[in-house]
Amino acid sequence: MQTLLSPHRRSRSGFAVLITLAFLTVMLTVFASMLYWSTTNANITKRNVLYNNAEYAAESSEENILATMMRDFTYGSLNSSPSAYNTLKPSTNGWPIAFQFSDTNGNTAYTATVTIAPFAWSVLTGQFDGLAGYAQYCQVASTATPLNQGNINLSATVYQSEQFALVPVFQFAVFYNMDLEINPGADMVINGKVWSNGNIWSSPSSPNTLSYSNTVDASGQIYYVRDPNDPNGNGSSNQVKYLITMNNPLQNVDTLTMPIGTGTNNNPTNVQAIIYPPPAGYAPPNYSAAYGSNGTVYLENAVDLIITNAANGTNGTSGTNITVYYQNQNDTSQYIQTVPPDVLASSNVTGSGSSKTTNLVYAYSFVTNATFYDYRESDTVQAIQIDVGKLNTWLNNSGARGGLTYNNLNTGASGSVSKGHGINSIYAYNSVPMNVNQLPAVRLTDGAQLPNSGLTVVTPQPMYVEGNYNVQTNGTAANASAQTTNTAYTVPASIMADAITILSPSWSDTYNINTPLTASSGTQRQASADTVNAALLVGIVPSVTTAGGKQYSGGLENYLRLLENWSGISLQYNGSEVGMYSSLYATNFWPGTGTVYNAPNRNWGFDNNFMNYAKLPPLTPEFKAISRFTWLAW
């Protein structure tokens, strides 16, 4: 019997279980890893979202504080104490996440760390790079921490530094609060900063070039054609040259505004208010209002001397219808005093015997009346005339009717009412009414040497400057700074008026309506070389289209108005040309050359002295400017 043996077969079910378990383990491990990654990634994402939200919250807190500081500075001044700002909290209504605000040390009693440095003369940064100003350096840093976010504990801090600055307007070679037109008929170089709160129109005719050696900024656009209201043909954009080409020129920049009253509206009409008598609410005898920070924006409240006349002007006895006042804002007992006239004008005797009376009539040696003809305005000018040479003599006169008494009050030689400087500012108001044949104005003569402390003269009417102005100082040679760009022998000076007209040393008041620019007998009204060293803030007659057609403003090249034949004659000007508003008195359009005047050799330049705070003209208007220049988050 044969026995057959069957082979033994191993069971494979155990391997299947092991393989299944292995794969399951791997899958569980991968799944667990995915869950861990997903959870971790979700936490990271949540932390990132929370951090970003915290950064936004911190920035909101910081910006809320900055907005308050900017408001205070714009409408008055910064509070010098950080505690006025470091507890301010932004409105969080509607925020999906609650935040705890603190300073950078984690102190929740404050919403930010705020530092405010005192004012100091500083180089400015950012938009105003290259300028200097009386600035406060401030820093604000706020920390925000999300609340009720479980085990996620994080915070974000935002830091920003700023400069709150008062920027002197005369640091610009050219500043226009309206459209600026420059279309020179000869090569012209502007060697300082240029700014327009409007558009800039430049289109010099070839081969004449306009060259900017510094930065150019416009709140509007910069065009290389003439203003649409200008009837003259366009030149070439290739004739405009920029010596600085990196980030220059700039368009659409923020406007610079001058604070007037309680606002910062740079509307030309509002700005013009600074040269007009102050409104009743800011005029003496409202002492605190007139001499507070808002009141002294009106320059009549800020000057040392106020000069005015009677409405009959030169129709009265020359010089005897004028009154001069000394103003000292520090003297609460008598802040305005009438200055007695200092020279005997006439005397007469009435009666006889015991009833005889001698009547003495005095006038001012340094202020009188003058009459002359303005060919552009086609008007007879009735002017208050200030003789600067005689003003210097009066300021040093120690007699009972001299000016040394008032000069000493200003300098501090006579007590606590000191202003810290000699008399250096005048406000002149001409009460003569304006009509179709008569123009009230102010004229400065014999101004080659100004008072040692400098001189700013302000009037709401047109200003005329006759002869060399501010070309020598005490002890220097006569006309030491005449016909040169070297202003070492000058003092700080400015003129602020409705318009500015330059009369050469050869000017004669005998010129009248019948004295043409040229005649068959030869040239009339012949000018001679002249130099004016002063910052100017005046009005212009803008380009417009009237019923009679288009009218050109004359452009910056005719900013200085002229009435003589200057052909081949040099007119040297060093200063700062500021056009802030439209003229309200001297309103006739630019007449072109050949009838009212012939153009001079224009040697015009910016006076770099104005970059030095100590050499700025008295009462220089200042813009309030805010620069942000550091932003960090962590």
Residue-wise pLDDT for 202-217, tens only, equals 999 888 899 999 999 9
- pLDDT band at 441; cut points 50, 70, 90: very high
The residues facing 348 across adjacent strands are 359
The pLDDT of 175-204, averaged and rounded, is 95
CB 171 within 8 A of CB 610: yes
- What is the pLDDT, as a whole number, of residue 43? 66
Main-chain phi, psi angles of 161, to 5 degrees? -115, 150
Which position has the higher pLDDT, 29 or 581?
A: 581
The mean-pLDDT minimum among 24-33, 156-165, 542-551, 578-587 falls in 24-33
Percent of the chain with pLDDT over 90: 68
**What is the radius of gyration, based on Cα positions, of the chain?**
36
CB burial of 316-332 (b: ≥16 within 10 Å; e: otherwise) equals eeebbbbebbbbbbebe
Are 48 and 149 in contact, with CB atoms under 8 Å apart?
A: no
SS3 (DSSP) at 531: strand
Q: Measure the CA–CA gap between 175 and 194, rounded to whole angstroms.
A: 6
- Look at residue 404 and tell me whether its pLDDT is greater than 80: yes
Establish whether the linkage from the previous residue to 285 is cis, with ω within 30° of 0. Answer: yes
Q: How confident is the model at residue 12 (pLDDT cuts 50, 70, 90)?
A: low
Q: Kindly state the average pLDDT of the residues 447-474.
A: 97
Provide the pLDDT confidence category of residue 536 given band limits of 50, 70 and 90: very high
Contact criterion met (CB below 8 Å) for 216 and 242: yes
pLDDT digits (tens, 9 = 90+) for 294-308: 888 899 999 999 999
457 contact partners, CB below 8 Å, separation of at least 6: 386, 425, 426, 427, 428, 442, 444, 463, 494, 495, 496, 497
Asked if pLDDT for residue 396 goes beyond 90, the answer is yes
Q: What average pLDDT does this structure show over 14-29?
A: 72
- The per-residue pLDDT for 130 is 85
Q: How confident is the model at residue 262 (pLDDT cuts 50, 70, 90)?
A: very low
In this structure, what token pair is assigned to residue 238? 């290739």
pLDDT tier at 440, thresholds 50, 70, 90: very high
Which of the four pLDDT bands, split at 50, 70 and 90, describes residue 99? very high
What does the block give as tokens for 398? Answer: 């120690």
Q: Check residue 156 and give its pLDDT.
A: 94
The pair of structure tokens assigned to 345 is 């004008």
Most confident of 121-130, 314-323, 404-413, 443-452: 443-452
